A and B are shown apart, each in its own frame.
Chain A
Amino acid sequence: MVEVKQISKQFGENQVLNDISFQFEKGKTNLVIGQSGSGKTVLLKCLLGLFKADKGEILFDGADILAMTSKHLKLLRKEVGMVFQGGALFDSMDVESNVMFPLKMFSQDSKEEMLERVNFCLTRVNLENVNKLYPQALSGGMKKRVAIARAIALNPKYLLCDEPNSGLDPYTAILIDNLLQEITHEYGMTTIINTHDMNSVMEIGEKILFIKNGKKAWEGSKSEIIQTDSDSLRDFVFSSELFKTIRRHAQ
């Protein structure tokens, strides 16, 4: 489980996160939603230790990363898989080397064992025969899947994703969402996904944190969203005619 307690982050005069507390549960897809610029990515980067929160606590199974030495933080990071918005695949490496990279750096496995693991991870994300392709030759959806394969290569306890289906067509986006949910349940990971895609919210939102202007505005699950009486959440989630209709029917 990952827990944030009253964390705040300020850049100059701009208060990006303000006193946010939340529990991201193990074995569930935890979604962080909010408009662009609401502070979702900053929250995720604080969780990863890429930004240092000004105050509060960030607990990974009870261990506060803000109080950790860089050595301990490095050890913890080996248990964290991260899927970046653009995939962040290494341009100079082919797909196989990208997925093998964390194994090469941190596992003691032989080359054959590593290759076996790479192929397993690629198969798990429904990619085959792409080992020797370079990122430039992959579609957006394939890049995201390779990024997921790389993120799960070391069997992480925590999986963090920054807008994993942004820029994808609706069909591929749903495939990625379902894949993330399946992996989360299969490996019992604590998965945290930043998104502003309402399809994702309604598809895989087992636990949802809604951020508005850097503050926690609402928390709950996808089923509770339909019944919400929070104006700001309603305005955000049900802004399109389609979702307004869905909500009317659900009610």
Chain B
Amino acid sequence: MGFVVAIGKYLLFILEVFQKPERRSVMYRLVVRDIYELGAKSLLFVIFVSIFMGAVVCIQTATNMEGSWFPRYLIGYATRDTIILEFSPTIISLLLAGKIGSNIASGLGTMRVTEQIDALEVMGVNPASYLVRPKVFALLFFNPLLICVSMFGGIFGGFMAGTLSGECTATEFIAGLQYDFIPFKAVYALIKTVVFAFVISSVSAFHGFYTQGGALEVGRSSTRAVVYSSVLIIVLNYVITQILL
């Protein structure tokens, strides 16, 4: 019963978020600020993680192919597909759910317990729309860019690891990258990314927005936000894959 109530509350919250904003110009400025705060500040983190994960994927693939009759260019092929199909859209989204989700939930939770959200409401401003909508738009816009950067970073990491360790030559790796490339796989990855961006922003905001109590509760909301976002990402990953592939 509590689960159904929570879903209903979440849907009503989403309706509130997408109500007409009081001032469009103010909202545009907030979107730009959130793109910087939530998106651009995650760029280095994403690049760093992607390069190393790409390298690990490449080495593991090469290790598994050792002694087999498979051509070496398949290392590049397998690295590319692993990164585009799963690693960048899903794993990086899970990491972002931790980084950005906890940021959103704790920020809104603190605003709730210090009555800043009440202050907005009393002023006649729709707090859900004012505070949450820019974050949702910022992530919907910027997360696909982050994931594209992650794809390039991962493939670059794989290339470096593969060639430097001597598992394959640069030509073999690049040939593998070009082998049997289906553009829809990238589209599928970006569709997943957009859905996950919405989940991260809205679910985390929901938990932060309805925080009750004090500082301890802010921490709990933050944890709940990360857990629920991550679980939803994993489940939706399966559902989208089943539908699209």
Q: Is B122 in contact with A105, judged by CB distance below 8 angstroms?
A: no
Q: Is the CB of B124 within 8 A of A106?
A: yes
Let me know if A88 and B118 touch, CB within 8 A. yes
Complex interface: chain B residues within 8 A of A85 (CB): 115
Contact, CB under 8 Å: A88 / B22: no
Answer yes or no: B114 CB below 8 A from chain A CBs: yes
Residues of B within 8 A of A89 (CB): 116
B3-32 interface bits toward A, Cβ cutoff 8 Å, 1 = contact, 0 = none: 000000000000000000011001000000
CA A187 – CA B124 in complex, angstroms?
Answer: 21
Residue numbers in A under 8 Å from B22 (CB-CB): 105-106
The reply to whether the CB of B187 lies closer than 8 angstroms to some CB of chain A is no
A242 at the interface (CB under 8 A from B): no
Question: Given B26, B116, B118, B122, which contacts A104 in the complex, CB threshold below 8 Å?
Answer: B26
Residue with the greatest number of chain A CB neighbours at <10 A, chosen from B22, B23, B116: B116
Q: Quick check: A90 and B122 within 8 Å, CB to CB?
A: no
Q: Smallest distance from the beta carbon of B165 to chain A beta carbons, Å?
A: 47
Rounded to whole angstroms, the CA-CA distance of A67 and B124 in the bound complex is 17
- A91 touches which of B26, B116, B122 (Cβ 8 Å): B116
Chain B 210-235, CB within 8 Å of chain A: the 1/0 string?
00000000000000000000000000
Which residues of B sit under 8 angstroms from A77, Cβ to Cβ? 121-124
For B22, the closest partner residue in chain A by CB is A105
1/0 per residue, CB under 8 A from A, across B98-117: the answer is 00000000000011001110
Query: Can you list 11 A-B pairs with a CB-CB distance of less than 8 A?
Result: A50-B121, A74-B126, A78-B123, A82-B119, A86-B115, A90-B111, A90-B116, A91-B111, A102-B123, A104-B23, A105-B22
What is the interface of chain A, defined by CB distance below 8 A to chain B?
48, 50, 74-78, 80, 82, 84-86, 88-91, 101-102, 104-106
B residues neighboring A (CB under 8 Å) = 22-23, 26, 110-111, 114-116, 118-119, 121-126
